[in-house]
Amino acid sequence: MRLQAPRGTFDVLPGDARRRLDLQRNAADVLGRAGYGPFETPIFEDTELFARGVGEATDIVQKEMFTFEDKAGRSLTLRPEGTAGVCRAYAEHGMHKLAQPVKLWYWGPFFRHEAPQAGRFRQFTQVGAEALGSDDPSLDAELILLLAELIELAGAGPARLRVSSLGTPETRAAYLEELTTYLRAREGELSEDVRERLDQNPLRAFDADHPGTRAVMEAAPRLLDRLDPADADHFAAVRDLLDRAGVQYDVDSTLVRGLDYYTRTVFEFESQRLGAQAALGGGGRYDRLVEELGGPATPGVGWAAGIERILLAAEDARDARVADVFVAIAKPESGGSAFLMTQRLRQEGLRVVMEQAGRGMKGQLKQANRVGARATVIVGDGIDVKDMDSGDQRAADSAEAAVQMVRETVG
Ligand code: AMP
């Protein structure tokens, strides 16, 4: 029987791998210019980290973790998200002694045991950025701008941005109680679905299509109206910076994220081009997480974005160009000269591939088009340079003249 990749996983074939690498380079560049340094944590961690960090009651911890025992009987888990590991590392390495904020970015595989569907996998890749050690609202705004820029650069824009503030866990708990009481008093008007899940997740009622429920929700209390003054001021400061930077966003007081650690700012980018799994990336502030993991009290803010989703949303913008130049071989004895011409052109910083499959000239020119070459150098008794856009073909007096002609053609 032919073996296949496990359910919910996938191979990254060369075309996609190239787009992923481009995205990673963009991330390194965009985040690097904002002072974020590359960072890595292990792909598996003690299970306890996620139980404590992400939250025992979350879907991720309850249902979605790939957990196993090592030979000594310790429980380990393939990381379902990146922030808990970053906070563990911050505490473990005493990074609070460094100049604050500590700004980090990461890229790598994450694992969740979810039902696979378009845009939802069991192994997926996230790029993430975190700023620890300061609660300055400019960090929240900066991180939102950086993710917007990455999505835009990837060709996955425009994406809808929703922002909200969750305040403190205490505010949230009191609010959920208020909301549940409000809904209980109007139970008869709610959909069965919402009624059944009232205790587990009353916030879901805000997403309902059911007319009765919608009418009830219009007058329902909103978390944003219950924030402490300091949290409300913080959120106003973040919004002010976004406004001044010209960022479009919707304040959505029903925005909830699937992880328990958030405080104050939360945000999410969504693509209109994707179906049910529309979230490209999101994040927020987690001012208590480092302390909950045994470190010093340290505010933090960050986001994670799904690479596969970003590339799905950017599908239309796909560029199949593999090479700038194709080096063709006019007769078998010219193979060595063509090889040297290829090396010479690569020294110019160009992307160059040569004929390596024994095709005839017609097949070689077809191949040149297939790889997206803008110039083809034909090496035989002499050297010709063909402009693949105009079709013009000219003879070069020497190898160096050919290099010059290629440079002019490729631009
Ligand atoms: P989260 O922190 O859960 O919001 O995840 C951040 C981003 O990772 C999401 O917005 C998605 O783009 C991506 N993501 C999360 N789970 C999956 C999954 N199972 N498959 C693919 N991408 C995912």
Phi and psi dihedrals of 97, rounded to 5?
-85, -10
Q: Could you tell me if residue 284 is inside a domain?
A: yes
DSSP-derived 3-state class of residue 72: coil
79 neighbors 67 (Cβ within 8 angstroms): no
10 Å CB burial of residue 176 (0-12, 13-18, 19+) is: middle
Task: Tell me what pLDDT residue 293 has.
Answer: 94
pLDDT mean across residues, the chain: 94
- Token pair listed for 183: 């809904």
Q: Cis peptide leading into 6, omega within 30 of 0? A: no
**Looking at the predicted structure, is the pLDDT value of residue 318 above 80?**
no
Evaluate: CB of 189 within 6 angstroms of ligand 1.
no
39 and 149 housed in the same domain: yes
- DSSP annotation of 188 reads G
Give the domain extent around 59. 14-167+227-313
Evaluate: CB of 49 within 6 angstroms of ligand 1.
no
Query: Residue 353 sits in a domain of what CATH number?
Result: 3.40.50.800
**Looking at the predicted structure, is the pLDDT value of residue 37 above 80?**
yes
The helix-helix angle for 137-153 and 229-244 (nearest 10°) equals: 40
pLDDT tens per residue, range 217-246: 999 999 999 999 999 999 999 999 999 999
Confidence at 354, pLDDT banded by 50, 70, 90 = very high
Q: Could you tell me if residue 123 is inside a domain?
A: yes
Task: Tell me what pLDDT residue 197 has.
Answer: 81
Give the distance (Å) from ligand 1 centre to CA of residue 106: 15
- Pocket test of ligand 1: the residue of 277, 301, 303, 311 to mutate, having most ligand atoms within 8 Å of its CB, is 277
> Which amino acid residue places its CA nearest to atom 18 of ligand 1?
120
Phi and psi dihedrals of 318, rounded to 5?
-60, 135
- Token pair listed for 46: 């003690």
269: enclosing H helix or E strand: strand 263-271
Q: Which of 289, 313, 337 is the last residue of a domain?
A: 313
DSSP-derived 3-state class of residue 213: helix
Give the whole-angstrom CA distance, residue 305 versus residue 138. 20
Give the whole-angstrom CA distance, residue 302 versus residue 39. 14
Evaluate: CB of 156 within 6 angstroms of ligand 1.
no
DSSP-derived 3-state class of residue 289: helix
Mean of the pLDDT values across residues 381-388?
97
119 and 262 housed in the same domain: yes
Give the distance (Å) from ligand 1 centre to CA of residue 281: 7
Mean of the pLDDT values across residues 384-399?
97
Q: Which of 313, 348, 364 is the last residue of a domain?
A: 313
Q: Could you tell me if residue 177 is inside a domain?
A: no
Evaluate: CB of 79 within 6 angstroms of ligand 1.
no
Task: Tell me what pLDDT residue 274 has.
Answer: 87
- DSSP annotation of 97 reads G
Q: Which of 282, 313, 344 is the last residue of a domain?
A: 313
Query: Ligand 1: which atom is nearest the Cα of residue 258?
Result: 3
CA distances for 253 relative to 172, 203, 256, 267, angstroms: 12, 10, 8, 11
Q: Could you tell me if residue 281 is inside a domain?
A: yes
366 and 345 housed in the same domain: yes
> Which amino acid residue places its CA nearest to atom 4 of ligand 1?
282
Number of domains in the chain: 2
> Which amino acid residue places its CA nearest to atom 12 of ligand 1?
306
**Looking at the predicted structure, is the pLDDT value of residue 257 above 80?**
no
Mean of the pLDDT values across residues 352-379?
96
Q: Cis peptide leading into 137, omega within 30 of 0? A: no
19 and 120 housed in the same domain: yes
78 neighbors 66 (Cβ within 8 angstroms): yes
Task: Tell me what pLDDT residue 112 has.
Answer: 98
36 and 59 housed in the same domain: yes
Phi and psi dihedrals of 222, rounded to 5?
-115, 140
Q: Could you tell me if residue 203 is inside a domain?
A: no
Task: Tell me what pLDDT residue 57 has.
Answer: 80
Q: Could you tell me if residue 344 is inside a domain?
A: yes
Evaluate: CB of 82 within 6 angstroms of ligand 1.
no
Give the distance (Å) from ligand 1 centre to CA of residue 288: 22
Evaluate: CB of 126 within 6 angstroms of ligand 1.
yes
Confidence at 58, pLDDT banded by 50, 70, 90 = confident
Give the distance (Å) from ligand 1 centre to CA of residue 378: 48
Evaluate: CB of 113 within 6 angstroms of ligand 1.
no
Task: Tell me what pLDDT residue 150 has.
Answer: 97
- Token pair listed for 213: 């429920």
254 and 332 housed in the same domain: no
Give the whole-angstrom CA distance, residue 301 versus residue 38. 16
Query: Residue 148 sits in a domain of what CATH number?
Result: 3.30.930.10
156 and 273 housed in the same domain: yes
Give the whole-angstrom CA distance, residue 215 versus residue 201. 18
Query: Ligand 1: which atom is nearest the Cα of residue 257?
Result: 4
Q: Could you tell me if residue 293 is inside a domain?
A: yes
Evaluate: CB of 288 within 6 angstroms of ligand 1.
no
Give the whole-angstrom CA distance, residue 128 versus residue 147. 9
Mean of the pLDDT values across residues 142-152?
97
Confidence at 320, pLDDT banded by 50, 70, 90 = low
294 and 334 housed in the same domain: no
240 and 330 housed in the same domain: no
Q: Could you tell me if residue 290 is inside a domain?
A: yes
332 and 239 housed in the same domain: no
Q: Of 92-106, 107-121, 196-210, where does mean pLDDT reach its minimum?
A: 196-210
Positive/negative CA dihedral, 307, 311, 314, 318: positive
Give the whole-angstrom CA distance, residue 290 versus residue 97. 14
Query: Ligand 1: which atom is nearest the Cα of residue 121?
Result: 20
CA distances for 199 relative to 34, 140, 226, 239, angstroms: 43, 31, 20, 32
Evaluate: CB of 128 within 6 angstroms of ligand 1.
no
Evaluate: CB of 309 within 6 angstroms of ligand 1.
yes
pLDDT tens per residue, range 179-195: 999 999 999 999 998 88
130 and 248 housed in the same domain: yes
34 and 142 housed in the same domain: yes
Give the whole-angstrom CA distance, residue 115 versus residue 311. 20
* % residues pLDDT > 70 (the chain): 99
